[in-house]
Structure formats: structure tokens, C-alpha cells
A = this chain, B = another copy of it.
Amino acid sequence: MAGTAGTLRVGIIGATGYGGGELVRLLARHPTARVVALQARGRDDEPIDVSHPHLASTGLRIGDALPDGLDAVFLGLPHGAAAALVPDLIAQGVAIIDLGPDFRLRSAAEYPRWYRFEHPRPDLLDRAVYGLPELHRDELAALRDAEVRIVASPGCYATASILSLAPLARAGLIEDVVVDAKSGVSGAGREAKPEMQFGEVNESVRAYGVDGHRHVAEIEQELTRAAGAKLPPIDFLPHLIPMTRGILAACHVRTTRPVEQAELDALFETAYGGERFVEVVASPPATKQVTGSNHFRVHVHHDPRTGRVLVLGVLDNLVKGAAGQAIQAFNVVFGLPEASGLEQLPLAP
């Protein structure tokens, strides 16, 4: 590795978005990483407080060129952009943690379908690791000595859905599933859009993406891997909630056979008992219980009346759903304590 003992030199490309801001907020307090470069289109040599007033005290600036000798680069870019940029970074020996979708799907054929672009480097898809440490920790750790180091950090809805359902998928219990998900507006990014103005969002709730949200592709991919078998298409419906941060995924599951609460409890305990960032809780969680933290909180419930299983998972879409999870995976790849820089407790109320 290019880094010297004690400090890892990292860059962030796409630093002015919400995800970029969270990366700065967290990495600026990371005990081992040091942010040495920020990039953003059209923002050369701009103090960070122009785009992120709350981060003024970091004294960081958006710069132009990436310096040499970086250990890792975090990418927060629109889909398609990372795929174009990554090969060059790989050639420089830099580890990539991509917060976008360009390396999440293992099949190149899925990109035209879900993202409307032909993937320029299908050969890299197999070498990228889907950066969900709770499911792929060993693969991430194995990147440490790999020539090509690409972490495809999961989508926010995907993280909530996959972590909620993986224990059931592994146990072969999913016959059919409806994921009815709710998100705060920061998941839609920072660009000014008429429908995201305060006056339109506040005191209102609506569903969107009824023709199929892109995260469905990675959810189905990962649940199929967890199940070891093809699952029926997932019915996934996202909603926009009048709040800034937070995702709640309500997963309504018909099971392949009758189950009881005790079995469900055991499955989740086995899956997550040792996980630093997953909390299995005894009552329906509120998104506010995890705000600002890298925690994922999950509740599983068997309804004797309907025979169905309900799984409710919550996270902060900008932390465990984006920047925090990317740092968690970065920590694993570089052999650091997995919670480095992610120790902050949730902010409530």
C-alpha cells in the first residue's frame, strides 16, 4: 500500500453532495484516515463551507487534481461516471470505495435495464465486492492484498431491505415479499428540484417509483445469493416522507412454511448477535433512534392472525445507507477496527 504506518491518505470525489458531506463529517474525525483531497465538478479551490457550511471548522478546500500516493478514494458520483473513472484509479493502485451503483451488479446485462447505460468494463464487475460487511466481510478483507480493490457500497434502500431479509433468505423462508419503504428527502440528493421544495414535501407523503426502483436489482441479487436460489420478483415500493434523514423498510413476508416467533428470534440472533452495528430490538423501531449513526436497527414479528412475518428495519440513509457504510467497508479492507471513525451515538431527539 502507498500509505505510511499510522495514517491512510484518502480522497473524496463528489464532495459537495449530501453523501460527500457525510464522508467529510465522519472521515475528518477518523483516527487513521486523513482527508487529503476533495474534488467536485466546477468547484476548484473553494472552501468547503461554501457547499457545506456546517463543516467550516475542518478548514478543508475543494481542490483540482488528485495528489499522488492516495491509499483510497471514495466516489460519490452519478451512475455511469464512476465506471468511466475507476479504471484509471485502479491503475494507480488506489483502493476504490464507490458509493454509486456502477459496480454493485454482477451481471453487466443489468446495467442497460436498470441504469440505461452499457457498462464499459464488465470484467471488473466480478472483482468488485458488494460492500455490505455484515454479508461480505471476508470478501472485503480479502481485497486487502488484491490488485484490483473496488468496494461497491450498497444503496440506502438496498441496505435496509437486504439486512432486514437476509436471515429469512438464508433459511429459505421467503415465499413472497412486499417491501414497503419510506425515506427522508436527503436520499434524493441535493440538486434543486421543484418536487423537493419544502412547500411541496412538508405535511405530505407520497409513493413514487411505481414502475420499479433501481435498488430492486441489487436487492434481488443479494437475496438470491443469500438464499442460494432464485426468489420471486420483489414488490418494492418507496415513499417520500417529510423528514430529512432516515429509511424504514417494512418487509411483509409470506413464508415457505409456518414459523413461530421463537424461530425468527433465533435466526436474527444468529445472524446479528455479533454485529457491532446491527441492533435486534423487541419493538418497532423509529428512524430517529439511529439518526447520525452507523446503526441498523431491526425488529421481526410473526403475526399469528395472518401467518405472515413482518420485518422492520431502520437506518440513517446518509450513514449506514451511504457514507458510514462506505467507511465501515474501508476499515475492513485496510484491516482497521471496523468501527473506526463510526463510534458516534445516534442523535435524538
Q: Which residues of A contact B (CB under 8 A)?
A: 18, 21, 25, 28-29, 52-58, 176, 178, 180, 182, 184-186, 190-194, 196-208, 210-212, 232-235, 237, 239, 241-246, 248, 250, 252, 254, 279, 281, 284-293, 295, 301, 303, 305-308, 310, 312, 314, 343-349
Contacts and interface: CB of A to CB of B under 8 A. Distances in A.
Contacts of A25: 345-347
B305 A233 contact: yes
Given A303-B210, A349-B244, A197 B190 contact: yes
B202 A202 contact: yes
A250 B198 contact: no
A213 B202 CA distance: 26
Contacts of A314: 206
A34 B28 CA distance: 24
Contact of A295 (B57, B241, B242): B57
Copies in the complex: 4
A8 to B, nearest CB: 19
Given A54-B288, A202-B243, A203-B244, 16 more contacts: A56-B279, A176-B254, A182-B182, A182-B239, A185-B198, A192-B194, A198-B242, A202-B202, A202-B349, A203-B203, A203-B243, A204-B243, A205-B246, A205-B286, A210-B312, A234-B306
Contact of A180 (B201, B202, B250): B250
Give the residue among A25, A178, A194 with the most B Cβ atoms within 10 A. Answer: A178
A211 B293 CA distance: 29
A151 B24 CA distance: 35
List of 5 A-B pairs having minimum Cβ-Cβ separation, nearest first = A204-B288, A180-B180, A206-B286, A199-B349, A54-B346
Contacts of A200: 198, 286, 288, 349
A22 B293 CA distance: 14
Contacts of A194: 190-192
A242 B239 contact: no
Contact of A235 (B53, B292, B308, B348): B308
Contacts of A248: 205-207, 239
B180 A286 contact: no
Contacts of A312: 207, 210
A185 to B, nearest CB: 5
